[in-house]
Structure formats: structure tokens, C-alpha cells
Amino acid sequence: MPANALPQDDTDQSPWLKDPRHRDWLLADARRQFQFFDASVNPKGGFFTLDLDGRPLPDRLQELHTTTRLIHSYALGMRLGQPGADKIVDQGMRYLWSHHRDPVHGGYVWGVKDDAVADGRKLAYGHVFVLLAASSALEVGHPDARRLYEDVSEVLEQHFWEEDPGLFCDEWNRDWTPFSSYRGMNANMHGVEALLAAHEATNDAQPLARAGRILEMFTQRMVATHGWRIPEHYTASWLVDPDYAGDPMFRPPGTTPGHSCEFGRLLLQWWDLSGRPQGDAPERARRLIARALSDAWDKARGGMVYTLDLDGKVAIDARYWWPVTEAIGALSMLIKLDPRPEDELWYRRLWRFADEKLIDHRRGGWFPELDGNDRPAMTQFKGKPDIYHSVQAALFPLTPGLSRHMHELGAL
């Protein structure tokens, strides 16, 4: 890496966001990520998951969030003028409609292997990513985007949105029969992300309003009684379920500081898109992000631990790449809005850790997990599972506004 990519002189407090050397380095890292994940394309349709060297892994299971996140990420690449990005968006859009979409029961199945449904569950988490993919495809003018957008919007309306609480429920069998009463924060957080993208793509007021209702629940009501941390799991009546422990990757118990960083960023984006109304949204976002960094930063090793107990004690001390990327995105928003000295210090600390430990400078992409000796680990992940988190960490600081403003990427 060039020695001047991350300035080392901390006596100079001028924001890195305005430093041309840093901005050039961010853009170069984003382009190297796109080049690495170009190898995801499966000639038979859909996408491969890649190992650390960029070779296809043998497991052919393709999950809905992988397909949709690649569509969204390469739509961003199209805005950058990244060569070949349009072909990956095309591939993902075709596969989403021909394989994930359920022509019998409607909606989108979670897992596909070759031409067969491998996991027919209908999950809110997956469907909001379909909405994100459709919205991003709309913004780049994909010819099938409107069809996908209208289809997934109808499914979300009929099967997932619950008007009384103003939140998304979580999961169904393939035929829309219930198999649990679980309610979760994660699907709703990514629901906010997708709803804000939908609003930006269509200028429809309803997605923005619904995003606001979800944000009120988690960044106002929940944090008020949980020390500015957000519990992950709930009962059907939206009471915190302290004993729930599901999938250790997607549904670990307790709270997840990386999600608080995401919520802080999304709250600022909603506030900006809503015309910056009176209220405490910016301060709530700042408090969420500050609590997450204070709780999660591993003072001995660097990086962010994965989860906490509901009382704030470290529960899972694994260090994954995505909380660092989300903290970078959140800090970049705070610096754009109301920069404070501690914001700049955290932003630099996060990028230096990523540069030294997480970014694969030789091959491209980021390592998803570190072991106790700061070597790439494979405990929860195989290979490099996606571009979505890390490429947005590189791109969010480069846009001038708080919202996604995909059209502004074309000027970089």
C-alpha cells in the first residue's frame, strides 16, 4: 500500500474525508474489491462464493442475501463506471427472478442449489434485500427493475408488514404457513436500509414513513431502557426475548454493536431525507454510535467484538470485518454533519486497523474474520462471503451527503 494512503501525522486534525490522498485510496480499494468479486459470476447462472484467493468454493448453495447484495453493490459499481458491473447486475437480476422467485406461492426462497430449491423459507431479512436490489437497479435504469420492485413490494405488504406495531414480522414456510412467532431487530434494520433506498429510487413517501416508524421503535423506545444498546430478539408482541439464541451468525443472543453503528447511520440518512426535521435524531445517532464503539472496541487487539450480553458485557469476542465497516460508515456521516475531534480519531483508528489487519492488499477484498493472532480465520465464514459491507465502507465517505445519493458516485 502507498505510504501516503493513510496519513500518519495525527497532529494535523484536518479531516481525512477531505484529504485527496485518502479519497484516492478509498476509491482504489473499492475498485480492487470489484475486480476481486468479478469472479463471482457462475457461467451456469447465479454466483459463486469465493475463497480467499478468489476461486469458487465447492458448495453451490446460493442464498438470497448473496444474490441481492451483489446486485446492489454492482449497481454502485455502475455509478462509478466500473467495467463489467452492468453484466453482474444483469446476471443477478435474471437469477433472482428465475430461481429465487417462487412462481407457485409467490415471494422469494432463501436458498437455491443448481436449479432446485434448497431452502424454501420466506424470510423478511431476505425480502428486504430484494427490495434493496430492486431499488438500486431502478436507480441505474435496469429494464427489469420496476417489475421486481412492484413484485417484492406487494409481497412485503401482504406477508411481512404489520401495521399496528409498524414493523416487519420475520419468517414463514414456503407456502406462507407460520413456523415461528419470532420477531427480530436485524430484518427491520435492513428493512430501514431498503425502505430508504426505495424512497430515493421512487420518491414515494410511504417507504420513508415506514422507515421512520421502525427507527422510532429501536433508536428511541428500545435504547431508552437498555443503556443505548438495542436488543436483537423479541416475542410476537414485541417484548424483548432475553433467552432467545438462534443461529450463531445471523441470530446470536444479546446485542450487536455493529448493528448499533448501522442504525446510527440509517437514522441520519432518514433524518436527512425527511428534510432534517426538528428533534433529537442527530444526537440519538451519535449516542448509539458512541456506545457501540465504547462497548465493542477491543483495546488489546484492536477491532470490534461481535456481541454483548444485554447488560453490556462481551459475549462473543470474535472480530469480524463487517462491524468495522459499519463503524466507518457511521463515523463518516457524523464527520460530514457535525465533526468533532473524537470522530476524527475514531475514523482514523478504524481505517488503520482495517488497513493493517482486514484488507487483503495482495488479492483484493477484505478478510471476514481474525483469529487471536490477527490471522484470517474461518470459524463462521468460508472464503470472502461478500463485497457489500466493505465496498460501502470505501464509498460512503466519498459521497458529499448523508443519504446514499448513488448518482453522486459518478462524479468521483
Residues marked as catalytic: 259, 389
Residue 306: C-alpha distances to residues 18, 215, 296, 357 (Å): 31, 22, 7, 16
The count of C-alpha atoms lying within 13 angstroms of the C-alpha of 411, restricted to the half-sphere facing its C-beta, is: 7
Please check whether residue 174 is in contact with residue 117, taking contact to mean a CB–CB distance below 8 angstroms.
Answer: yes
* HSE (side-chain half, CA atoms, 13 Å) at 195: 31
Instruction: List all residues 6 or more positions away from 66 whose beta carbon is below 8 Å from its beta carbon.
Output: 47, 49, 385, 386
Distance CA 103, CA 207 (A): 26
Q: Closest by alpha carbon to 64, among 103, 113, 136?
A: 113
252 closest CA partner among 160, 323, 193: 323
Helices (H), 38-143: 64-80, 85-95, 124-139
